[in-house]
Structure 1
Amino acid sequence: DFGCGGGGFFALQAAKLVGDRGEIFAVDILKSVLNNVASRARSLGLENIVTVWSNLEVFGATKILDGSLDYGLLTNVLFQNKDPRTIIREAVRMLKLEGQLLIIDWKEGRFPLGPLPQDKVSPQTVRDIVAEFYLSEIASFDAGPFHYGIIFKKIRS
């Protein structure tokens, strides 16, 4: 879960899902966020979450091996950063060949909540970026009234 956020919701759910068959990495730039996720994991009895402190905007900074992950998740992360391309590149670096990346972010337009329209990253911009990194779109979906979701597969290293 790249940019797992304070609640670590997706990382915690993934940890429950994979159980002892896998390990979940919760990555964030804020140590306080990671401490919270680790604490919540302990309170839920989850021993398969590893917190990783990193700046996803720096290629190679995340201490997870190249080509080692089956899945990656970027949820409400791209709009928060100056260059979404660098974050996607860093996520793709860690994916195995045939690994999947799920991106969920804000739909375009004005809503009563969420980021300013000029800060949002459109689905087409995401598609254009991932094409540079040998990812193929396998599905897209409405992720609620304010978000879109796209799943990509890494087809080449």
Structure 2
Amino acid sequence: MDKFVTHLLSKDRKKFEDPEKFLPSLIHGVVAELGCGPGYYCQYLIKYAEKVYCVDKNKELLEVAKSLTRDAIFLNEDACKTSIPTSSVDIVLFANSFHDMRDKTKVYEEVKRILKPEGEVIIVDWKKDASLGPPKNIRMSKEDYLRVFSDFYLEKEFEVGPYHFGLVLKRRS
């Protein structure tokens, strides 16, 4: 594993971004994590969901995710076009990933396709002013997400840690 992947999966990450502090109360049913990377969240999602799709276009990162758990469905696909059945997912999770996706409009359309009518989108992402994280010019604010996910409303915000924010977006009926 390269240094970056090792960093993404390090035990130190749990000190400031611990999925077990917020996932249990948010996760249910069928979950698709789009942009799962090396599987940091996948290993926790399988504890709380009925079924988990872990999707990433980077085959090497997906192989690392598979090494952490075998209980998910791993798809080496672009988040713009997955093989996940239409209207089959209760929750789509973007954990530190949506800001990196090139064609956000296509990803958004794919989210609407795979989500059930009452589905939710969970966002975990870096605060704009956090001292750690990706380059500040690619980070997205809560308002940026609400603009992109225009067919959704903010159902609730949740605490992730000092560097991240968490949103639950609910599909408008």
- Aligned-residue Cα RMSD (Å) equals 1.7
Which of residues 135, 145, 148 in structure 2 aligns to 1:126?
145
Which of residues 142, 159, 166 in structure 2 aligns to 1:142?
159
**TM-fit CA distance, 1:110:** 5.2
- Give the match for residue 87 of structure 1: 107
Which of residues 67, 70, 73 in structure 2 aligns to 1:39?
67
- Distance (Å, rounded) in 1 between the aligned partners of 2:130 and 2:44: 30
Say if 1:143 and 1:149, in contact at 8 Å, map to a contact too. yes
- Give the match for residue 43 of structure 2: 12
Mapped pair 1:53 → 2:70: no
**TM-fit CA distance, 1:106:** 1.1
Q: What is the TM-score when the length of structure 1 is the normalising length?
A: 0.81
Say if 1:110 and 1:116, in contact at 8 Å, map to a contact too. no
Q: Deviations over 1:76-135 (max 9, x none)?
A: 012223343332332232110111110111111251x2112111111101001111xx21
Identity percentage of aligned residues: 27
Q: Unaligned 5+ residue runs, structure 1?
A: none
- Give the match for residue 2 of structure 1: 34
**TM-fit CA distance, 1:55:** 1.2
- Distance (Å, rounded) in 1 between the aligned partners of 2:126 and 2:104: 13
Q: Deviations over 1:29-70 (max 9, x none)?
A: 11112222222214xxxx3x10011112x3xx2110121101
The secondary structure found in structure 2 opposite 1:54 is coil
- Give the match for residue 7 of structure 2: none
